[in-house]
């Protein structure tokens, strides 16, 4: 039975000995605190397993920690510079890491994977762990002050246009000692470099984690720890999109997401982008790599580090004050519950539909496949809490004008106001259903009573 299974932690390291040593010590600490845990250590390699790394694995084996050494990666030629070697190695190892993680989670063994701990350079595995419904954590083997730098990197990139080393004044981050630009990590010393781009991607990737483990302690960096705790409380979490929503007016933002696996074509992405821009309404868009098959993401993980590259030229710059585009994933429950969210453009998956109703958020119905068209009809014609996005029969695409009209109608039009009132009623009914004497609670209690008597 499932409840008798041993809890398993999967740890993903990188082809760097110093990182391997630190995360191996973390594994030992896990077992000291909880001896009944089982740990599987996944190790990517570049060409072959170095002798020092084998020593690390042998030491872990003596503690009954299993290891999976992945196949060597085929790096692009000529060999990338040292600063890009490990980021590229981890990107090329991603399919093998996914295969190993899938195997561990789908096996019929006596173990159940309950969490993933990935090295900072292995951040690309986080969206995949979300799809497997596994709690995921990043291990950052450096000072907590560097974590603060990671969290603030996007803002620094947007607000500072010169090279950091050319700044006359030091950079001041909450809880950190002022740092001159020339003393920032090497990855930030050349804004035109591939290393710099990858650093920003890794920093954004951290926002997908359920938590971050840092090799520090409160008494070592007290000001920093206090500042980060306060920021977390003020922002309702560290997610960039939640922090952005905090700065928006109540009910002003349209949340755009096609679920955990839905995809739209590249042409449709362009039309949607132009329609959102034309609507002049605030938006938060979870964007994934395009695909002609609407359900593509249910069967494979995205191979694109930043799907924003598929947006129309200049779109991000033109809509900088209007919207936020988040790659791959956002904390949907928190987004829908946020006071600033006033509408939801959704694929009409039932999970998303119920989450929207529970929060009283009106809907633009954009079904993609499966039963979603049926649900769109129920929402639009039955409950009358949704506007249906109309597909052009000739092109098979929802055009930008149709999108702009639907968005404006929902967010600021009379039809949207009427839908919002009907949604408020459904929200109240949903809340009543789960009270102690509510219909859902009573029905579930009756079922449990039948099982146990």
Do the beta carbons of residue 212 and residue 140 sit within 8 Å? yes
pTM above 0.85, yes or no: no
Write down the catalytic residue from 3, 7, 19, 190: 19
Is residue 128, in this structure, part of any structural domain at all?
yes
Provide the number of structural domains found in the chain. 2
Is residue 169, in this structure, part of any structural domain at all?
no
Do the beta carbons of residue 35 and residue 28 sit within 8 Å? no
Task: Looking at the structure, tell me whether residues 263 and 410 fall in a common domain.
Answer: yes
Q: Among 119, 141, 163, where does a domain finish?
A: 141
Is residue 339, in this structure, part of any structural domain at all?
yes
Q: Among 108, 141, 174, where does a domain finish?
A: 141
Residue-level pLDDT at 210: 86
Is residue 195, in this structure, part of any structural domain at all?
no
Task: Looking at the structure, tell me whether residues 247 and 395 fall in a common domain.
Answer: yes
Is residue 445, in this structure, part of any structural domain at all?
no
Is residue 54, in this structure, part of any structural domain at all?
yes
Is residue 160, in this structure, part of any structural domain at all?
no
Residue-level pLDDT at 76: 80
Residue-level pLDDT at 3: 53
Per-residue pLDDT tens listing for the chain (453 residues): 455 678 899 999 999 888 999 899 999 989 888 888 899 999 999 989 999 999 999 999 999 899 999 999 888 888 788 788 888 889 999 999 999 999 999 876 788 888 999 999 999 999 999 888 888 999 998 888 899 999 888 889 888 889 999 999 999 998 999 999 999 998 999 999 999 999 999 998 888 888 899 888 888 888 888 888 776 644 543 467 888 999 999 999 999 999 877 889 999 999 999 999 999 999 999 998 898 887 666 545 455 557 888 999 999 999 998 999 998 888 888 999 999 999 999 999 888 999 999 999 999 999 998 889 999 999 999 999 999 989 998 899 999 999 999 999 999 999 999 999 999 999 999 999 888 898 888 887 787 677 766
Write down the catalytic residue from 38, 119, 198, 328: 119
Task: Looking at the structure, tell me whether residues 269 and 387 fall in a common domain.
Answer: yes
Do the beta carbons of residue 53 and residue 45 sit within 8 Å? yes
Alpha carbon distance 174, 228 (integer Å): 8
Cα–Cα separations (whole angstroms), residue 206 to 44, 51, 123, 323, 334: 20, 31, 7, 21, 17
Q: Give me the domain span that covers residue 424.
A: 240-433
Task: Looking at the structure, tell me whether residues 369 and 248 fall in a common domain.
Answer: yes
Task: Looking at the structure, tell me whether residues 255 and 120 fall in a common domain.
Answer: no
Is residue 258, in this structure, part of any structural domain at all?
yes
Specify whether 328 is catalytic: no
CATH code of the domain in which 424 resides: 3.40.50.2000
Residue-level pLDDT at 450: 78
Q: Among 102, 123, 141, where does a domain finish?
A: 141
Task: Looking at the structure, tell me whether residues 133 and 249 fall in a common domain.
Answer: no
Task: Looking at the structure, tell me whether residues 288 and 422 fall in a common domain.
Answer: yes
Task: Looking at the structure, tell me whether residues 128 and 273 fall in a common domain.
Answer: no
Which own/partner pairs from 101-104 qualify as long-range (CB within 8 Å, at least 24 positions apart)? 101/10, 101/42, 101/125, 101/128, 101/129, 101/132, 101/134, 102/132, 104/8, 104/10, 104/40
Q: Tokens 């964007």, residue? A: 287
Specify whether 58 is catalytic: no
Alpha carbon distance 375, 81 (integer Å): 52
Task: Looking at the structure, tell me whether residues 123 and 267 fall in a common domain.
Answer: no
């Amino acid at each position: 039975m499932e409840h008798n299974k041993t809890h398993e932690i999967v740890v993903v390291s990188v082809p760097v000995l110093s990182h391997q040593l630190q995360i191996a010590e973390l594994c030992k600490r896990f077992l000291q605190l909880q001896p009944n845990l089982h740990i599987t250590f996944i190790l990517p390699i570049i060409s072959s397993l170095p002798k020092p790394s084998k020593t690390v694995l042998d030491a872990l084996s003596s503690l009954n920690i299993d290891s999976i050494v992945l196949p060597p990666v085929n790096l692009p030629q000529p060999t990338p510079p040292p600063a890009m070697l490990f980021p590229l190695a981890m990107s090329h190892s991603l399919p093998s890491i996914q295969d190993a993680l899938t195997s561990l989670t789908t096996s019929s063994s006596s173990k159940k994977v309950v969490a993933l701990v990935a090295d900072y350079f292995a951040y690309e595995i986080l969206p995949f762990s979300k799809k497997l419904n596994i709690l995921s954590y990043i291990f950052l083997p450096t000072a907590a002050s560097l974590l603060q730098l990671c969290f603030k990197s996007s803002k620094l990139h947007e607000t500072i246009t010169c090279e950091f080393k050319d700044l006359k004044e030091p950079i001041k981050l909450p809880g950190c000692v002022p740092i001159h630009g020339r003393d920032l990590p090497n990855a930030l010393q050349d804004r035109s470099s591939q290393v710099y781009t990858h650093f920003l991607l890794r920093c954004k990737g951290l926002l997908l984690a359920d938590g971050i483990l840092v090799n520090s302690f409160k008494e070592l960096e007290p000001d920093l720890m206090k500042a980060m705790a306060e920021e977390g409380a003020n922002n309702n979490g560290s997610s960039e999109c939640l922090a952005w929503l905090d700065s928006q007016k109540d009910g002003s933002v349209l949340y755009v997401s096609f679920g955990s696996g839905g995809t739209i074509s590249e042409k449709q992405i362009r039309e949607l982008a132009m329609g959102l821009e034309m609507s002049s309404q605030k938006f938060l868009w979870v964007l994934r790599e395009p695909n002609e098959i609407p359900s593509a993401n249910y069967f494979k993980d995205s191979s694109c580090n930043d799907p924003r590259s598929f947006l129309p030229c200049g779109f991000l710059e033109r809509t900088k004050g209007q919207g936020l585009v988040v790659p791959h994933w956002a904390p949907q429950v928190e987004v829908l519950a946020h006071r600033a969210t006033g509408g939801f453009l959704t694929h009409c998956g039932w999970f998303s539909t119920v989450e929207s109703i529970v929060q009283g958020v009106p809907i633009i119905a954009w079904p993609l496949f499966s039963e979603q068209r049926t649900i769109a009809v129920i929402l639009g014609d039955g409950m009358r809490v949704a506007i249906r996005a109309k597909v052009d029969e000739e092109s098979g695409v929802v055009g930008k004008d149709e999108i702009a009209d639907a968005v404006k109608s929902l967010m600021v039009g009379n039809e949207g106001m009427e839908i919002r009132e009907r949604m408020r009623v459904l929200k109240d009914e949903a809340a009543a259903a789960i009270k102690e004497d509510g219909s859902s609670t009573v029905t579930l209690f009756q079922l449990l009573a039948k099982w146990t008597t």
